[in-house]
Amino acid sequence: MLTIQEALSQGTRLLDDERIVAPRLTAEVLLCHALHCERVYLYAHSEEPLTELAWIHYGRYLKERIDGKPTQYITQQQEFYGRAFFVSPDVLIPRPETEHLVEAALKYGRNSRMAIDVGCGSGAIAVTLALELKHARVFASDISPGAVKVARRNAETHGAKVRFLDGDLLAPVRDGSMDLVASNPPYVPRTDEPSLQREVRDFEPEVALYGGPTGNEMYGRLIPEALRVLKPGGWLIMELGYRSLKPVRRLLHSEWRAVQAIDDLGGIPRVLVAQKVP
Ligand SMILES: C[S@@+](CC[C@H](N)C(=O)[O-])C[C@H]1O[C@@H](n2cnc3c(N)ncnc32)[C@H](O)[C@@H]1O
């Protein structure tokens, strides 16, 4: 039977031959998943032989990754804002860029009593807001029942008090009831589908990716609905697609003020903040 060190070398070579990015790191993460251990264990026990069961599991995970399945769907886990979230193919894998949205929501919505995450997916935003915004009642909605199930599970795991609403965007929300509307809506243009990475195109849920032919269609629906449910002076905070800033700005009419875009670490406008005129 191979040792941990040998298994890592073999796995890294296999992944590298198939042009998987970060082959060594991926092999380590997959081997840890097979062994139910932390990465440091691999180095402290590098000469230990793998059990037959661990070898079988590791081999299966390597095959899944080579076939394009994202590592996070194999390990069923993704870190977001310092917490581990369960993920399944029913939800988008939370991205680090979305932490900029959370930062903006915590800044502008810090005094919120009522907040909602629209299109909650795994619940990464809603759970984080519920844990970080001490005075807010946090709601979350998603059109996908599978996503709501995953988000509920994450809220329970983290002891976050989130109330889940079923329905299309903000349809289940009363007029003028919210201080904060946060959303990372689907914004990939349908026309980009052929050029997406296969990990995204073939494995992440379509309903979480595509925002319509131009990608901006969901903003066109979300902005007027947010205007309806926000209290005067309430904040709308949305993640932006990489070509969304201009068209989305055009949708924010005189009922909005303090409109600003926040760049991500790559210098791309990633978050749009707007306040409903008080
Ligand atoms: C880009 S994902 C964001 C998921 C999560 N908030 C995150 O940031 O990782 C968009 C989410 O919006 C949901 N969604 C799509 N259309 C919707 C609609 N009409 N009403 C409510 N949710 C919708 C999808 O199911 C998906 O979970």
Position 153 in a domain: yes
Both 165 and 97 in one domain: the answer is yes
Full-model pTM? 0.96
Q: Which domain holds residue 52?
A: 4-67
Query: How would DSSP label each residue in 195-254?
Result: GS-HHHHTTS-HHHHB-SSSS-HHHHHHHHHHHHHEEEEEEEEEE--TT-HHHHHHH--T
pLDDT score of 80: 98
Both 254 and 175 in one domain: the answer is yes
Nearest CA to ligand 1 atom 13: 119
pLDDT score of 187: 98
Domain boundary (17, 52, 67) is at 67
CB 94 less than 6 A from any atom of ligand 1: yes
Low-confidence ranges of the chain (pLDDT < 70): none
pLDDT score of 216: 96
Packed helices 98-108 and 124-132: angle between N→C axes, nearest 10 degrees:
30
Q: Report which ligand 1 atom has the smallest distance to the Cα of 98.
A: 8
Both 43 and 97 in one domain: the answer is no
Both 108 and 166 in one domain: the answer is yes
Position 85 in a domain: no
Ligand 1 center to 141 CA (angstroms): 8
pLDDT score of 205: 98
Both 181 and 258 in one domain: the answer is yes
Instruction: Find, among 167, 153, 42, the residue nearest to 88 by Cα.
Output: 153
Number of structural domains the chain divides into: 2
Ligand 1 center to 34 CA (angstroms): 31
Ligand 1 center to 231 CA (angstroms): 23
Position 83 in a domain: no
Phi, psi angle pair for 129, to nearest 5°: -65, -40
Position 178 in a domain: yes
Both 128 and 262 in one domain: the answer is yes
- Give the CATH number for residue 162: 3.40.50.150
Position 80 in a domain: no
pLDDT score of 1: 83
Both 98 and 41 in one domain: the answer is no
Tens digits of per-residue pLDDT, 40-86?
999 999 999 999 999 999 999 999 999 999 999 999 999 999 999 99
Both 95 and 15 in one domain: the answer is no
CB 116 less than 6 A from any atom of ligand 1: no
Both 165 and 129 in one domain: the answer is yes
Ligand 1 center to 145 CA (angstroms): 11
Tens digits of per-residue pLDDT, 153-183?
999 999 999 999 988 999 999 999 999 999 9
pLDDT score of 195: 96
Position 229 in a domain: yes
Which ranges constitute the DSSP H helices of the chain? Answer: 4-17, 23-35, 39-44, 52-66, 71-75, 98-108, 124-132, 145-157, 198-201, 206-209, 217-229, 245-251
Position 84 in a domain: no
Both 50 and 136 in one domain: the answer is no
pLDDT score of 134: 85
